[in-house]
Amino acid sequence: LEALGDGLNVVVSDLVGDGLTHDGENNLAVATATGLEIVKGMVQLTEEYSSGSAYDDRFVNEGGPSTVPVGGIIMWSGASVPENWALCNGQTAYGVTTPDLRNRFVLAAGGSYSIGSTGGASTHTLTIDEMPSHNHGVTDPGHTHAYTSPLIGDYPGLDHDENGSAVEYPYHNWGTTSSSTTGISIQSRGGGQAHNNMPPYYALAFIMRVR
């Protein structure tokens, strides 16, 4: 690490080991073999236009070009929220209102989605149009109809009328079909319940820098 120029001052405190050396001027060197360890205090780089401080909890909490700006949101796995940060649960902290990101995925804004828009659902019940094509089983035990066909008149044949002329007598019948019931049934499928609409997940908190 080499710090040059009049606009950069380097302050080093409480270093352990030989990971960092300082020649008393503006030159710092970090050993690639041993690395750099800070047990307390800080290494502070101060420029003319901004500043940044990396503390021994390895969290950057002050402004600077290499830090998260006010309004920036990151994922957080800690038990407590760092100073100058607030949980993204819709609260207002230091005059800044955080978005409520509890139980939500974050989607990149642009195109169809404007900043701050919300939507989606954790479960969904399919509509008829969304269902795939499918079949239902049909049970038909079969059935019969009774049919009555009385025979009225003479059987077909030749006879003579009153004048002695030969005539044919056809037979006549009138049929009656009685009513009947069936046992046809269509099997039902599905329970109409909503299904889970979420991919595999791991829950983390979102925190927002508020000052």
Distance (Å, whole) CA 63 – CA 55: 13
Tell me, yes or no, whether 26 and 45 share the same domain: yes
| pLDDT tens digits, 110-145 | 989 999 999 998 889 988 888 888 888 888 888 887
User: Between the CA of residue 179 and those of 145, 182, 183, what are the distances in Å?
Assistant: 6, 10, 14
Tell me, yes or no, whether 36 and 105 share the same domain: no
Range of the domain at 105: 74-134+189-211
pLDDT for the residue numbered 37: 60
Count of domains observed in the chain = 3
Which residues, 6 or more positions from 174, have their beta carbon under 8 angstroms from its beta carbon?
A: 149, 150, 152
Helix intervals (H) in the chain: none
- 180-186 average pLDDT score: 83
Quick one: tokens of 162?
């009153």
Distance (Å, whole) CA 21 – CA 123: 58
Question: Mean pLDDT over all residues of the chain?
Answer: 73
On whether the CB atoms of residues 54 and 14 are closer than 8 A, the answer is no
Tell me, yes or no, whether 60 and 83 share the same domain: no
Residue 46 above 80 pLDDT?
no
Question: Taking the model in full, what pTM does it have?
Answer: 0.47
Distance (Å, whole) CA 110 – CA 41: 42
Tell me, yes or no, whether 118 and 199 share the same domain: yes
Tell me, yes or no, whether 84 and 130 share the same domain: yes
pLDDT band at 22 (very low <50, low <70, confident <90, very high): low
Tell me, yes or no, whether 108 and 30 share the same domain: no
Tell me, yes or no, whether 87 and 143 share the same domain: no
Which residues, 6 or more positions from 206, have their beta carbon under 8 angstroms from its beta carbon?
A: 73, 74, 75, 76, 87, 88, 101, 106
Tell me, yes or no, whether 112 and 87 share the same domain: yes
Tell me, yes or no, whether 145 and 127 share the same domain: no
